[in-house]
Amino acid sequence: MAEKNGAGDFLAGFLVGALVGAAAALLFAPMSGEETRVMIREKGVELGHRADEVSAEARKRAEELQLQAKERAEALQERVKVAVEEGKATATKTKEDLLAQIGQDEAVEDAPPSEA
């Protein structure tokens, strides 16, 4: 989530900076009105292309992060399955050991006392 905020903040800062720069250029540039309009048009096209590039890069990065998250989730899910199976196996073995031990204890208790 922090990645998205960082990209959004960067894009917003970039656009604000571009607008401030364009306004300063208009105020201080010794050009005619027609030249200024042409420059504004060109800069607008440039900014549009740059915005498209940044958007495509952000989309690509988001897809990469989504894929990584999916892979990690699948790996974690597999590890949980293995842990559950190991836990079941350990529980079954412990149960069998305890039942065997109880059976031995009962056999010892039921045995007739030995004469010494």
Q: What is the pLDDT along the chain (116 residues), one digit of tens a residue?
A: 445 567 778 878 888 888 888 777 777 767 677 887 888 889 888 988 988 998 999 999 999 999 999 999 999 999 999 999 999 999 999 999 999 888 887 766 666 666 55
Residue whose entry in the numeric block shows the structure tokens 């998205």: 4
- CA-CA distance, 38 to 25, in Å (whole number)? 13
Quote the domain boundaries for residue 102.
2-108
- The amino acid that residue 105 corresponds to is D
pTM tops 0.85: no
Contacts of 39 (CB under 8 A, 6+ apart): 25, 29, 31
**Is 15 a domain residue?**
yes
Are 61 and 3 in contact by the 8 Å Cβ rule? The answer is yes
- Residue 18's contacts (CB-CB under 8 Å, 6 or more residues apart) are 43, 47
In a domain, 50, yes or no: yes
Q: Is residue 17 part of a domain?
A: yes
**Domain total for the chain?**
1
List, for residues 58-74, the tens digit of each pLDDT value: 999 999 999 999 999 99
The structure tokens 């010494």 sit at: 116
In a domain, 115, yes or no: no
Output the pLDDT for position 16.
Answer: 84
Specify if 116 maps to a domain. Answer: no
Nearest to 37 by CA among 21, 22, 57, 47: 22
Residue 114 within a domain: no
